[in-house]
Amino acid sequence: MKCMLMGLNNYDGIKTPTGNIDGVKLHWTNVDGNTFGHQANNQMVQRNVFNGFGLTVKEVMDLIGTEVNIEFNPKGKICGFSA
């Protein structure tokens, strides 16, 4: 899906009562047929999945404000990311 990358949160081993959070939360907007204007979304990506994209956090930060392609698996989870 083509979308505009709006930001990200880098969670690097944050301790919580239920365990550690290690991943990247991506924030993006996209055109949706049921929305006037753009729809805003975000989703957490586990670190091992994010590392499979072949990009560093810094490289993705440099893409903020540009159009990117986010791919989803049948369960709706992010499984691919490219500029």
Where would I find the beta strands (DSSP E) of 1-83? 2-16, 19-31, 38-46, 67-72, 78-82
| Domain membership of residue 70 as a residue range | 2-82
Res 20: pLDDT: 87
Res 16: pLDDT: 83
Count up the domains in the chain and report the number: 1
First to last CA, the chain: 11
- Express each pLDDT in 36-48 by its tens digit: 999 999 999 999 9
Tokens representing 39?
């729809």
Contact criterion met (CB below 8 Å) for 30 and 1: yes
Handedness of CA 56, 59, 64, 65 (dihedral sign): negative
- Express each pLDDT in 57-78 by its tens digit: 999 999 999 999 999 999 999 9
Res 40: pLDDT: 96
